[in-house]
Chain A
């Protein structure tokens, strides 16, 4: 499938509306307080009440990076970080229990300041679908909004060749297998400490990765690089409105801070509707897990 988006500036806003209507609608709601700006909230979403406590002791380090402008070195981190954001974006659009996309190579890129609004990147990339091993060439444009507040990046991407893998049969079989609520699936530590994933757990691992991409996309900026480190656990809930439903607890690794960040997500999926993330909840860093044996506080 080839996506072609107009590159014109004025159509960026149109893009927001179009993605709502397009194939894989993503309804994403962040529970609790915190600045929510524009792009990351579906116009129809209803924020749920619960406040989340995010406790962080001490200040996080301020990494003052001089933002590169002009032609980017594909080996250096600015292009790489932007390219990873494109990866997350593609997974939110096309990912499934049988389709999980990763960045393979950055071929070229450039960045420019957009006066008082943020920074725009253009990239030429190769992405790889992990299960079928099919690779595709992509061109992407991203916009990182500047200013205060946590605003999600905006991404457009067109890829060729990436969706050649025919996952329909597998997805349908998986869907049928799990839609009746006789035997609700669950699992934990995927992969385990030794990198092992039980074959029956693999689609749930992929699904966790794809669902995590919604968070990783939303949370990304030019000073972050996210990967999903592990599915801590997942539990299947009763199927509702023909959507498989799951609670997921995932560990995300943020490379620059090196932090492991815990998130809980409510995820739905069906072959037709694709992956949707209905709720996300940041988990506080587990300080009590780290209590040293003989502290006098």
Chain B
């Protein structure tokens, strides 16, 4: 009977042919024949059940899933989705891909290990020379500030894209090296993905306390222990047992000292939309206050030119709060004049959980500010 039906209605697509009386037959029925088939089966008293209501829907869903699965593993840095947040594995793969694709421009330096043994990776962008003057950029020292690691990834790609195409960037790289540490606090970053989105500090336990972690931006030897950091391990601004106690910090300290020729140091945070220069631990103005203030103004003006995003700027202690043991206070005291802290978007509406659709605009506008700082550094370096 079914064979006869299949012959009559040519558009029936039989998936499992009738073999014997006890084996079910599977038929894909086009919508136009649906009523006819149902009527026929009921008239002839052939029991049936609908296995899939709408095959097309299922196929569409499967297609979507396949596409998104493929998107999860980019094979080149051109495939990489810069407009989304990525976990640490993705970013570390990205770093290796970038080096592999640009062997004459980019190399990866492992400056140390995190408390939990993750590598601390720094990308070096260099067109040659020996120990050229350098510019340092870091993102993600506070792990919950996800816009920073995302921006750092974009900056890395931007540098390789623009070298040889953008005159200003090319001029910088022909004279100086750029060092970029994207995931400066990898243990924290992992923790924000797997346990607590709002984690800020490192993940090193504190003896005698149930509270974990030290604030890596209070752990530097500049005004260490003074007002503007906490002595309590449970505090988000815990300074640590001693300066440079955290390997994430000490590795950078060692790198900076052994390099000996860095001219600019920019540490990137979020949120608040501010550009800050030393000091945080004292209200005594730094020696280069006037120049740093003017350069900050130029940088945030350039930043605003892109989308109108407005930044405040000034010394850390005046603009945001007194903070001791911070990164750029230490680097400035080491003689790295152009030491700046960025606080990226936004001003509190989303705060740390900035929507992914703001990654590209944030990275692009911030890049203009970074270019202003890097250019000025280059023009004022022998």
**Chain A interface residues toward B at CB < 8 A:** 56-66, 73, 75-77, 80, 84, 102-103, 105, 130, 191-196, 227-230, 251, 253, 255-260, 285, 287-292, 295, 297
Q: Is B321 touching A60 in the complex (CB atoms < 8 A)?
A: no
Which residue, B85, B146, B210, has most C-beta atoms of chain A within 10 A?
B210
Q: Is A75 touching B355 in the complex (CB atoms < 8 A)?
A: no
| Chain B neighbourhood of A84, CB < 8 A | 348
| Chain B neighbourhood of A288, CB < 8 A | 210
Report the minimal beta-carbon distance from A199 to chain B, rounded to whole angstroms.
Answer: 13
Which residue, B85, B227, B318, B348, has most C-beta atoms of chain A within 10 A?
B348
| Chain A neighbourhood of B321, CB < 8 A | 63, 65, 77, 255-256
In the complex, whether B212 has a CB less than 8 A from a CB of chain A is yes
Q: Is A194 touching B231 in the complex (CB atoms < 8 A)?
A: no
| Chain A neighbourhood of B203, CB < 8 A | 292
Q: Is B227 touching A194 in the complex (CB atoms < 8 A)?
A: no
**Chain B interface residues toward A at CB < 8 A:** 84-85, 146, 192-193, 195-198, 200, 203, 205, 208-213, 215, 227-237, 272, 283, 310, 312-314, 318-322, 347-356, 358
Q: Bound complex: CA of A21 vs CA of B43, how far in Å? A: 76
Q: Is A102 touching B210 in the complex (CB atoms < 8 A)?
A: no
Q: Is A287 touching B320 in the complex (CB atoms < 8 A)?
A: no
| Chain B neighbourhood of A255, CB < 8 A | 272, 320-321
Q: Taking A58-B234, A227-B351, A258-B200 as given, write out 5 further A-B residue pairs in contact, using a Cβ cutoff of 8 Å, ordered by the A residue number.
A: A57-B211, A63-B228, A194-B85, A257-B235, A287-B234
| Chain A neighbourhood of B205, CB < 8 A | 292, 295
Q: Is A64 touching B227 in the complex (CB atoms < 8 A)?
A: yes
B196's closest neighbor in chain A, by CB? A289
Report the minimal beta-carbon distance from A262 to chain B, rounded to whole angstroms.
Answer: 10
| Chain B neighbourhood of A227, CB < 8 A | 348, 351
DSSP class of A's interface residues: helix, strand, loop or mixed? loop
| Chain B neighbourhood of A66, CB < 8 A | 283
Q: Is B236 touching A77 in the complex (CB atoms < 8 A)?
A: no
| Chain A neighbourhood of B196, CB < 8 A | 289-290
Q: Bound complex: CA of A256 vs CA of B323, how far in Å? A: 9
Q: Bound complex: CA of A289 vs CA of B197, how far in Å? A: 12
Report the minimal beta-carbon distance from B291 to chain A, rounded to whole angstroms.
Answer: 18
Q: Is A73 touching B353 in the complex (CB atoms < 8 A)?
A: no
Q: Is A60 touching B232 in the complex (CB atoms < 8 A)?
A: yes
| Chain A neighbourhood of B349, CB < 8 A | 102, 130
| Chain A neighbourhood of B348, CB < 8 A | 84, 102, 227
Q: Is A61 touching B234 in the complex (CB atoms < 8 A)?
A: no
| Chain B neighbourhood of A285, CB < 8 A | 234
Q: Bound complex: CA of A130 vs CA of B348, how far in Å? A: 12
Contact of B210 among A60, A80, A229, A295 (CB under 8 A): A295
A-B contact pairs, 29 of them (CB 8 A): A57-B234, A58-B235, A59-B232, A61-B228, A61-B232, A63-B321, A75-B319, A76-B314, A191-B353, A191-B355, A193-B146, A193-B192, A193-B197, A196-B355, A227-B351, A228-B351, A229-B353, A230-B197, A230-B198, A253-B352, A255-B320, A257-B235, A258-B200, A259-B236, A260-B198, A287-B210, A287-B211, A289-B195, A297-B210
Q: Bound complex: CA of A291 vs CA of B196, how far in Å? A: 12
